[in-house]
Amino acid sequence: MSKLSEKEIVKHLEKLPEWDYEDDAIHTEYEFNNFKDCFSAMSRIAFECEALNHHPDWSNSYNVLNISLTTHDAGGITLKDIKLALVIEGIVEEEEEE
Ligand SMILES: C[C@H](O)[C@H](O)[C@H]1CNC2=NC(N)=NC(=O)C2=N1
């Protein structure tokens, strides 16, 4: 899969207002009510990543989750990153509503 142009990335990020684009990756940070909710979201995201065979660079500190997405094989941002970010948004939205 080839990497997206900067113009294409900016266009896709219109659907992902909480995500920033920097250094050939897209980034966001989530703050949950507590560690349990954060880890629960991480667990659900992990299974989706496996299903998509596309994995995040992420870090967790107590109730905060930082996620960066890039396609290592392509050396930049591809549709796989946009798709996974949309899936992650859906999971986090559900997690926050529970
Ligand atoms: C063989 C290669 O590692 C796999 O196709 C997948 C695994 N998960 C991946 N995840 C991400 N973010 N980028 C990749 O290029 C990638 N490649």
Of 45, 67, 70, 72, the residue with max ligand 1 atoms within 8 A of its CB, to mutate for a pocket test, comes to 72
User: Distance from the CA of 23 to the center of ligand 1, in angstroms?
Assistant: 18
d(CA 68, CA 81): 9
Does the residue 63 lie in any domain? yes
Mean pLDDT of the chain: 95
Whole-number pLDDT of residue 95: 83
Whole-number pLDDT of residue 35: 96
Which range marks the domain in which residue 82 is found? 6-97
Determine the residue type at 46. Answer: A
Sign of the dihedral defined by the CA atoms of residues 72, 74, 75, 76, in that order: negative
pLDDT over threshold 80, residue 98:
no
Whole-number pLDDT of residue 1: 84
Residue 90 sits in a domain of what CATH number?
3.30.1360.20
Q: ipTM of the assembly?
A: 0.94
The sheet with strand 57-61 has its strands ordered as: 20-22, 25-31, 64-69, 57-61
Instruction: Summarize pLDDT for 44-80 with one digit per residue, the tens.
Output: 999 999 999 999 999 999 999 999 999 999 999 999 9
